[in-house]
Amino acid sequence: MPTPPTALAPRSAIALQAVLRRYRGKGRAYLLPCLHEVQAITGWLDENTCMQVAENLDLPVVEVHNVIEFYSLFYNAPVGKRIVRVCEDLACDLAGGREVAHACARRLGVDAEHGGTSADGAWTLEMHPCLGRCEQAPFLMIDEAGYGNIKAEDLDALLEGQDG
């Protein structure tokens, strides 16, 4: 049984329907761009939305789920309005990444080892095995913006300037 649809503001609901119409019948080749656009509107991909995407692209819903589960930047559960991704690979860890992750977790009030979403739903902290910026270790991202050579004591100023 599908989950109830995520309540969207009227403007977002209209935008979602426009995206779905634009991809109608285009098939598997358009699944990734469609999911990116849909998630940008909805924030995450609930069961009802997945079923709509599958139906519009003429795909089995299991294919939509498989893609969402495979790619770490698609979400099948609610996340914060802003997402902090902290790299936890060896280079970042040796350069102080663990301290950065712990400071960020304390600031956001989430688990330091696994991340999570703040109680107010404003922020999600994710730990990533590699963000591909070893030369800038430790490295983190806030949404799509990257910050290298970051120190734990830099986090308050960095997060303070963001709208959470």
List per-residue pLDDT tens for the chain, 164 residues long.
344 456 788 899 999 999 999 999 999 999 999 999 999 999 999 999 999 999 999 999 999 999 999 998 899 999 999 999 999 999 999 999 999 999 999 999 999 888 999 999 999 999 999 999 999 999 999 998 999 999 999 998 898 877 65
Q: Are residues 114 and 137 in the same domain?
A: yes
Tell me which of 50, 70, 90 is where a domain ends.
Answer: 70
Token pair for residue 66? Answer: 């498989």
Q: Are residues 137 and 99 in the same domain?
A: yes
Tell me which of 45, 70, 95 is where a domain ends.
Answer: 70
Tell me which of 21, 46, 70 is where a domain ends.
Answer: 70
Q: For residue 151, tell me if it sits in a domain.
A: yes
- Contact partners, residue 51, CB within 8 Å, separation at least 6: 2, 61
Q: Domain count of the chain?
A: 2
Query: For residues 164 and 80, is the Cβ–Cβ distance under 8 A?
Result: yes
- Contact partners, residue 128, CB within 8 Å, separation at least 6: 72, 85, 86, 87, 88
Q: How far apart are the first and last CA of the chain?
A: 33
| pLDDT reported for residue 89 | 94
| pLDDT reported for residue 72 | 85
Nearest to 18 by CA among 38, 45, 32: 38
Query: For residues 97 and 131, is the Cβ–Cβ distance under 8 A?
Result: no
- Listing DSSP states for 72-141 in one string gives TTS-SS---SEEEEEE-SHHHHHTTHHHHHHHHHHHHTSBTTTBEE-TTSSEEEEEES--S-GGG-S-EE
Q: Are residues 88 and 59 in the same domain?
A: no
Tell me, yes or no, if the pTM score tops 0.85: no
Q: How far apart are CA 43 and CA 32, in angstroms?
A: 15
| pLDDT reported for residue 4 | 44
Q: For residue 147, tell me if it sits in a domain.
A: yes
123 burial (CB, 10 Å; 0-12 / 13-18 / 19+) is buried
- Quote the distance between the C-alpha of residue 110 and its chain's center: 16
In degrees and rounded to multiples of 5, residue 25 shows phi and psi of 75, 5
Q: For residue 156, tell me if it sits in a domain.
A: yes
Q: For residue 5, tell me if it sits in a domain.
A: no
| pLDDT reported for residue 73 | 87
Token pair for residue 30? Answer: 């358009």
Structural domain of 152: 82-160
| pLDDT reported for residue 31 | 97
Q: For residue 97, tell me if it sits in a domain.
A: yes
